[in-house]
Amino acid sequence: MTIETDRQLKEFFDFLGHQFGLANVWLALSADHGIAPLPDVAKSLHLPAANLDSEALKAQINSLLAKKYSKKADYLRALDYPVAWLNEVAFAAAGRKESDAESDTGEAMKQTGVAGYFTKSLLGRGEIPKTELGRRYAHSYSPHGGWYVMAVPQPFQVGTTKGTDHATPFSYDTHVPLAFYGLAFQPGVYRTHAEPVDLAVTLSSLLGINAPAQATGRVLTEAIKPPRRASTGDAP
């Protein structure tokens, strides 16, 4: 897949070079997420990795909730580990409103081994810790999708019995490339903090236009070539 992606990018860049000349092109490359290392590989490095069975976890959470409410039901519509989607009808039948249902589910998930959780209700009210972890989950909030709980899994544990997955706040899932190409950019590797959201405001600055109204990034000035000043030559 990597070789095929390389080939397709080469063809695209060749096309741009022939059509416009690469001296007239700016390119930016990033990604939406990283991915956990394969648990078998991580375990060989003595990391606490594991492949988990999401269906078995879902059944365990349903069993814990049934015991709490003394009423058997499918309380989870789905478990896309580490996110649980709640069955609102089942919780309503047990006399639980959204905030209570989400908290109860989060506590049940902790009993299955997750490190913590954030509920849709708490995120919607902004009741989150003022930490980097809290900020990341706050940025993952959506008012849509029904009732849900976003759990914080243990590092290097993925919710598939084979292979690997993503959707955690850890560095292996959140570290992505951010690369620029073009005459406007200063060649080099920069150790300052940067995020994909910086891409839009950096390009806006170079184009001399306002950044998008909802932009939250910063202009990556360290990666931009200083403007060239025209030489005035020797005075007569």
Task: Provide the pLDDT confidence category of residue 227 given band limits of 50, 70 and 90.
Answer: confident
Task: Provide the pLDDT confidence category of residue 236 given band limits of 50, 70 and 90.
Answer: low
Under 8 Å between Cβ of 179 and 28: yes
Stretch 191-195: mean pLDDT: 92
Q: What is the pTM of this model?
A: 0.84
Give the percent of the chain with pLDDT over 90. Answer: 92
SS3 62: helix
Q: What is the pLDDT of residues 26-51, one digit of tens each?
A: 999 999 999 999 999 999 999 999 99
Q: What is the pLDDT of residues 105-148, one digit of tens each?
A: 999 999 999 999 999 999 999 999 999 999 999 999 999 999 99
The predicted pLDDT at position 231 comes to 60
Question: What separation in angstroms does the CA of 72 have from each of 64, 65, 106, 125, 218?
Answer: 10, 8, 18, 31, 51
CA Rg, the chain, in Å? 24
Under 8 Å between Cβ of 10 and 124: no
Residue 233 has pLDDT above 60, yes or no: no
The predicted pLDDT at position 228 comes to 76
Residue 234 has pLDDT above 80, yes or no: no
- Average model confidence (pLDDT) across the chain: 94
Give the percent of the chain with pLDDT over 70. Answer: 97
Stretch 192-220: mean pLDDT: 94
Residue 235 has pLDDT above 60, yes or no: no
Extended beta strands in the chain, E state: 27-29, 50-51, 76-80, 83-86, 116-119, 148-152, 157-158, 179-181
SS3 228: coil
Which domains occur in the chain, in start order? 2-32+176-223 (no CATH), 50-158 (3.30.1360.150)
